[in-house]
């Protein structure tokens, strides 16, 4: 019996390895050997992929090939390629026949611009061309290309939409390039101002402020942008004062709140008090008034003030934790410890965080598991296709990262990339929610979200030759970089996990400056004195993730609230 089982295991392994070998030959462009290899593979789970690569090889040698029906996403990619090839050979009816068999749900979002481009030209559909030129103008190959072909036929509204799309993708130079096509109005003048601010040409940006009608709704927005991005405190105050003159409460508070925060964190206390005095009462105003009293006046006054304004603070665990720090009254720390809300403050108060183990009855999906061994991207596309079709039952056991957003929040503590350290997963969950092609607003990429300067610095430190930022879309490379960088930060701060987490998001320099400026006596003080909103929130969430991952692994952790954080 054991011998039979061993033979079966060997046969199964041989099939899987055979497909991998064929795939490797194909990637090495040894196409004839790859074809012979693929023809020898007898694996029904991978048959559509075997046919896919055989089709590609046959096309290289101008040989006919018929697509066999399957429920896989790769079938739609095959039809997309055949349709495109037929279109470029001017076999338009044949191209349409192939095109009609494509299921758009099967395509990755990065491939939609090409799909639309082919459809628009195949059917000469101007509405689709307009969609490409406005909604997909960020795509150089098909969106921007279409824009250049039809921009003379676009309306002012369409052109403004194209600019707005480019701004949303942070393509400011490209947006500036098409701005002369727009007719001048206050909205267009504001776009110019905004784009010159984002490209750091402040003198040009300022010149457009004078051209905007002061009664226009874009005038206070322009003042807000100039005040927010100005480099000097004098200029920030000047634009803020001009905003105050407009009596536009929305933008007075929208600019005043971040300037108040910045002045506090950089200890510009005269500016802090000035901006604070102009704000309407809000949660932010109450909180920063409290912090000012706590750090620069007296804890007694801070406690008294916060106690009178408890209704303004939505985060009750934070409220009671800081009432404890300001008063020393253990009644408050017990309220946090026994809270029903599991968060950062409950953890540092010594509370027990509840976790939900992900126990699901399901079985793996063989063809996706096998594809994943050779090409993670294709496996992700196939999994996403099943998700779009509502076939998610067994996806959790195969590629949980694809269905994670469908899970209850307490079940999102998955480990899709094997047995990595808890801190890696804690960071990954917050950074990308396990999406390998994630790109953030600051152009951070991949699972572990590296911005280009940091990524190239890590590559240089590790003597990695020919590194390209797109390499970080490979999960293995992204995880490897993240692992190395977290270790570097932990070593830099003598193993202090809080400082390492904060540095990963906001930079080690800002952590060091915060420690020098405020000399925080505990982790809560460190969190609230870090200058970046994003980093403060990030640290709390990642550390909470870390504790939950550890607990899921059966590791207990005790935080002592009186322990110094340095």
CA distance 236 to 259: 8
Q: Which DSSP symbol is given to 199?
A: T
Residue 512 · residue 485 · CB < 8 Å: no
Name which of 67, 19, 27 is nearest 44 in CA terms. Answer: 19
Helix (H) or strand (E) holding 86: helix 73-88
431 is catalytic: yes
Among all chains, which residue has been given the structure tokens 């480019």?
Answer: 166
CA distance 275 to 260: 6
HSE at residue 153, side-chain half, CA atoms within 13 A, is: 11
Name which of 554, 191, 114 is nearest 357 in CA terms. Answer: 554
Name which of 366, 353, 482, 488 is nearest 424 in CA terms. Answer: 482
Question: For residue 247, is it left (φ>0), alpha (ψ between -120 and 50) or beta?
Answer: left
- What are the phi and psi torsion angles at 73 (to 5°)? -65, -30
CA distances from 292 to 10, 307, 346, 528, 534 (A): 70, 15, 24, 11, 20
Name which of 239, 175, 165, 169 is nearest 202 in CA terms. Answer: 239
Name every residue whose Cβ is closer than 8 Å to that of residue 379 and which is 6 or more positions away in sequence.
Answer: 368, 369, 371, 372, 399
Name every residue whose Cβ is closer than 8 Å to that of residue 108 and which is 6 or more positions away in sequence.
Answer: 377, 380, 381, 384
Which of 160, 382, 401, 431 does the annotation list as catalytic?
431
User: Mind giving me the DSSP string for 166-227?
Assistant: HHHTT-HHHHHHHGGGSPP-HHHHHHHHHHHHHTT-HHHHHHHHTTS-TTSTHHHHHHHHHH
Spell out the SS3 assignment of 306-350: HHHCHHHCCCHHHHHHHHHHHHCCHHHHHHHHCCCCCCHHHHHCC
Among all chains, which residue has been given the structure tokens 């808890």?
Answer: 422
Residue numbers annotated as active site: 431
């Amino acid at each position: 019996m054991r011998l039979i089982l061993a033979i079966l295991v060997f046969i199964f392994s041989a099939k899987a390895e055979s497909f991998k070998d064929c795939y490797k030959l194909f990637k090495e462009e040894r196409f004839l050997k790859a074809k012979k290899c693929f023809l020898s593979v007898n694996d029904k789970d991978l048959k559509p992929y075997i046919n896919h690569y055989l089709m590609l090889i046959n096309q290289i040698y101008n040989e006919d090939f018929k697509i066999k029906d399957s429920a896989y996403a790769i079938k739609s990619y095959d039809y997309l390629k055949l349709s495109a090839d037929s279109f470029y050979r001017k076999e338009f009816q044949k191209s349409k026949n192939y095109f009609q068999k494509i299921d758009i749900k099967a395509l990755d979002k990065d491939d939609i611009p090409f799909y639309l481009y082919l459809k628009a030209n195949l059917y000469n559909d101007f509405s689709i061309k307009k969609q490409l030129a406005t909604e997909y103008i960020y795509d150089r190959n098909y969106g921007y290309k279409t824009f250049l072909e039809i921009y003379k036929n676009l309306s002012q509204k369409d052109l403004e939409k194209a600019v707005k799309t480019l701004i949303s993708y942070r393509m400011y130079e490209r947006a500036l390039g098409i701005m002369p096509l727009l007719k001048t109005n206050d909205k267009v003048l504001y776009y110019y101002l905004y784009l010159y601010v984002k490209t750091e040409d402040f003198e040009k940006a300022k010149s457009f402020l004078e051209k905007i009608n002061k009664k226009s709704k874009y005038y206070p927005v322009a003042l807000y942008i100039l005040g927010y991005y100005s480099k000097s405190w004098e200029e920030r105050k000047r634009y803020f004062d001009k905003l105050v003159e407009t009596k536009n409460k929305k933008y007075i508070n929208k600019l005043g709140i971040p300037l108040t925060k910045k002045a506090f964190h950089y200890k510009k206390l005269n500016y802090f008090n000035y901006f604070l005095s102009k704000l309407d009462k809000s949660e932010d105003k109450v909180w920063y008034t409290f912090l000012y009293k706590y750090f620069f006046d007296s804890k007694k006054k801070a406690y008294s003030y916060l106690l009178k304004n408890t209704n303004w603070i939505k985060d009750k665990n934070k409220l009671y934790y800081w009432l404890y720090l300001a008063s020393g009254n253990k009644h408050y720390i017990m309220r946090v410890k026994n809270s029903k809300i599991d968060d950062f403050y409950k953890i540092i108060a010594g509370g027990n965080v509840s976790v939900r183990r992900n126990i699901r009855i399901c079985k793996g999906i063989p063809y996706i598991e096998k594809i994943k061994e050779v090409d993670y991207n294709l496996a992700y596309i196939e999994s996403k296709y099943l998700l779009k079709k509502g076939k998610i039952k067994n996806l959790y056991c195969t590629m949980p990262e694809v269905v994670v957003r469908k899970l209850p929040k307490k079940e999102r503590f998955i480990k899709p990339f094997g047995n990595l350290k808890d801190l890696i997963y804690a960071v990954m969950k917050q950074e990308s929610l396990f999406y390998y092609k994630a790109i953030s607003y600051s152009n951070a990429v991949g699972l572990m979200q590296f911005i280009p300067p940091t990524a190239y610095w890590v590559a240089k430190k590790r003597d990695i030759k020919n590194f390209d930022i797109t390499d970080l879309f490979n999960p293995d490379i992204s995880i490897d970089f993240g692992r190395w960088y977290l270790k570097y930060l932990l070593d830099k701060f003598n193993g202090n996990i809080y400082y390492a987490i904060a540095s990963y998001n906001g930079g080690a320099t800002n952590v060091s400056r915060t420690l020098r400026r405020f000399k925080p006596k505990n982790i809560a003080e460190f969190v609230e004195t870090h200058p970046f909103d994003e980093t403060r929130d990030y640290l709390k969430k990642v550390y909470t993730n870390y504790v939950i991952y550890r607990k899921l692994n059966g590791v207990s952790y005790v935080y002592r609230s009186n322990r110094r954080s340095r």
